[in-house]
Amino acid sequence: MAFVQFSVRRETCAVARDSGLHRLWCNPQPGSMPSEGRWMSLKQHRRTSARRSGRRASQAARRNSRPRPRPAAVLPAVNHPEPYVSVIIPAMNEARTIAAVIAEARGVHPRCEVIVIVNGSADNTAEIAYSMGAKVISFTQPLGHDVGRTVGAEAARGEILLFTDGDLVIPAADLRPFVEAVSGGEDVALNNYSGPVRRRLPHPVVLSKYALNIMLGRPDLQGYSLTAVPHALSRAALTALGSASLSRPPLAYARAILDGLKVKAVHKVPVGRMNAVRRKAEGKDPLQEIILRDHLEAVALLLERRGKRAGYGDAGRRREMVR
């Protein structure tokens, strides 16, 4: 009996229903796919080799996993002598991920250099990075949060500086838009990601980023900032901001907007989900404290430059009426 084969897989049935075609269950051809039958449409009789050969037509081949690019096999494993893009990767005990991070970084541009700033690492992060052909700047002591970015920016020779992190393996395809935006004329290309915003009361860091953008008169930038990697800077932006300022990203960010640099959010990489969960000391995250204070200082810088109302008007308040 042909109808014994009615135990079709669920998804096949779903496809048939969704496509709205009336289909007929047919006998399989002898010798082809003994465990499955084949579909035949009553309405449409498309002549495809698929039907003849017994493969299911109009259905994409099933994949068990998303295909991953393997750039290490095709791309050069050395830094370009005259780089156009410098990829800056601060790393601290990232031996597990650093090889993949460098491999992806090589895929952003044919003329690229990878700079890994290894600081305070007790594992073999530096050795792995070196074997991958990256320029390695090593420090035995931890430099401090985001200080590696300054060191990397000083060593960079490219026209475009792409910042990422040693613990985030971001596919090259997700890094390229930042490079493309800067080569297309932007000064600062930001990650189009604000962090989790579904709750009514957000995380303090997310809130700070949003508030800073409002104060800067750029609420359209939502919660985007230089605090989140990846992002790219032009050489001109680096000269304007100074590499030292990159150690405190919110301040560098505020300065970029105040100096009138072209800042644009170009591509979304939801790094929040990739980030490792860190330990907390007595429920308080000291990193959070620092980020919050940096944001407040960015507001201070803004108020210094734009006046006490940050450039916003008073909507015709006659303050002299109350004495």
Binding site for other proteins (CB under 8 A): 92-93, 119-120, 122, 141-147, 194, 197-202, 204, 206-208, 210-211, 214-215, 219, 247, 278-279, 281, 286-287, 290, 292-293, 296-297, 299-300, 302-303, 308-319, 321-323
SS3 144: coil
Instruction: Pick the closer one to other proteins by CB: 108 or 291.
Output: 291
Angle at 286 (CA atoms; ends 280, 292), nearest 5 degrees: 130
CB of 174 to other proteins, least distance (A): 21
Residue 213 CB, nearest approach to other proteins (Å): 9
Cβ proximity to other proteins, 83 vs 148, nearer residue: 148
CB 191 within 8 A of CB 116: no
Apex 173 CA angle, 170 and 175, nearest 5: 55
45/284 with CB nearer other proteins: 284
Residues in the chain: 323
All residues at 6 or more sequence positions from 223 whose CB lies less than 8 Å from its CB, including other chains: 193, 194, 195, 197, 206, 209, 210, 213
Q: How far is CA 318 from the centre of its chain?
A: 48
**Nearest distance from C-beta of residue 141 to other proteins, angstroms:** 7
- Start-to-end CA distance of the chain, whole Å, equals 98
Question: Smaller CB distance to other proteins: residue 204 or 270?
Answer: 204
CA dist 263 and 221 (Å) reads 9
Contact 301, 251 (CB under 8 A): yes
Parallel/antiparallel/unpaired status of strands 160-163 and 231-234: antiparallel
Nearest approach, Cβ of 291 to other proteins (angstroms)? Answer: 10
Q: How far is the CB of 67 from other proteins (least distance, A)?
A: 32
Smallest separation, CB 164 to other proteins (Å): 17
Residue with smaller CB distance to other proteins, 39 or 163: 163
Distances (CA, A) of 218 to 69, 175, 200, 238: 36, 24, 22, 21
Instruction: Considering the complex, state which of residue 178 and residue 210 has its C-beta at the smaller distance from other proteins.
Output: 210
Look at residues 229, 59, 242 and name the one whose alpha carbon lies nearest to residue 146.
Answer: 229
Contact 48, 39 (CB under 8 A): no
Choose between 22 and 309: whose C-beta lies nearer to other proteins. Answer: 309
Q: Cβ–Cβ contacts within 10 Å for residue 82, how many?
A: 8
C-beta closer to other proteins: residue 85 or 92: 92
Distance in angstroms (rounded) separating the CA atoms of residues 214 and 222: 8
Chain-centroid distance of CA 15 in Å reads 33
For the CB of residue 281, give the shortest distance to other proteins in the complex, in Å.
Answer: 7
Q: How far is CA 221 from CA 164, 214, 284, in A?
A: 20, 8, 28
Rounded CA separation 196/206 (Å): 8
* Distance of closest approach, residue 298 Cβ to other proteins, in angstroms: 11
Residue closer to other proteins, measured from CB, 157 or 306: 306
Kindly state the smallest distance separating residue 43's Cβ from other proteins, in Å. 44
